Amino acid sequence: MNKIAEFRDLAGLSQQSLAEQVGITRPYLSKIEHGKQKPAYIIALKIAKVLDRKVEEIFFEDNVNHGERNSF
């Protein structure tokens, strides 16, 4: 799972606002946030830029149990 919603909330942005700044639709952003859609790399970069975070912070999580990384 990604951390878009968490960082979006911290930035005080609605889904609509973030989607507009990234250049995608709100339903598409919602699908990405809920793990139902994988974003194109350029979209992931744009999301990270708007949220002022690294792509890795948003889309990669350390898997403590297996020592693996889950990707978007």
Q: Are 9 and 33 in contact (CB under 8 A)?
A: no
Question: What local confidence, expressed as pLDDT, does residue 1 receive?
Answer: 82
- DSSP state letter for 60: -
Structure token digits, residue 72: 């978007």
Q: Taking the model in full, what pTM does it have? A: 0.82
Enter the CATH code of domain 4-59. 1.10.260.40
Of 62 and 4, the structure prediction assigns the larger pLDDT to 4
pLDDT, tens digit (0-9, with 9 covering 90-100), for 1-53: 899 999 999 999 999 999 999 999 999 999 999 999 999 999 999 999 999 99
Question: Residue 63's pLDDT is what?
Answer: 44
